[in-house]
């Protein structure tokens, strides 16, 4: 299993929606700096949160605030 942890800043306010089954869905983008380059290059990573993670993101994540996202992956895809 591989785990990815992204640390960066939110580029805009999280976008909140409700799915057809009533599940909360939040979309946001993290700006992540590349620590290994001298120029300070930035990657923009789109993130999506569902359910309780979406509720947390909606309540605590704000534009230009520090944020993070982590997920575990296996060979078959996302391990939930």
pLDDT class for 66, splitting at 50, 70, 90?
low
State the pTM of this model: 0.70
Give the residue among 25, 80, 72, 69 at the shortest CA–CA distance from 51: 25
Domains assigned to the chain: 2-64 (2.40.50.140)
Q: What is the mean pLDDT of the chain?
A: 79
Q: What number is the average pLDDT over the span 42-65?
A: 85
- What is the dihedral angle through the alpha carbons of 20, 56, 53, 12, rounded to the nearest 10 degrees? 80
pLDDT tens-digit readout, 19-47: 899 999 999 898 888 877 677 788 898 98
Strongest mean pLDDT among 21-30, 37-46, 60-69, 71-80: 21-30
Residue 75 reports pLDDT greater than 60:
no
Would you state the pLDDT for residue 79? Answer: 46
């Amino acid at each position: 299993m591989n785990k990815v942890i992204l640390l960066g800043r939110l580029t805009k306010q999280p976008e909140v929606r409700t799915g057809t089954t009533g599940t909360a869905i939040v979309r946001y983008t993290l700006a992540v700096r590349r620590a290994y380059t001298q120029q300070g290059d930035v990657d923009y990573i789109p993130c999506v949160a569902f359910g309780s993670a979406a509720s947390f993101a909606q309540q605590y994540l704000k534009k230009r605030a520090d944020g993070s996202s982590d997920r575990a992956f296996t060979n078959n895809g996302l391990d939930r």
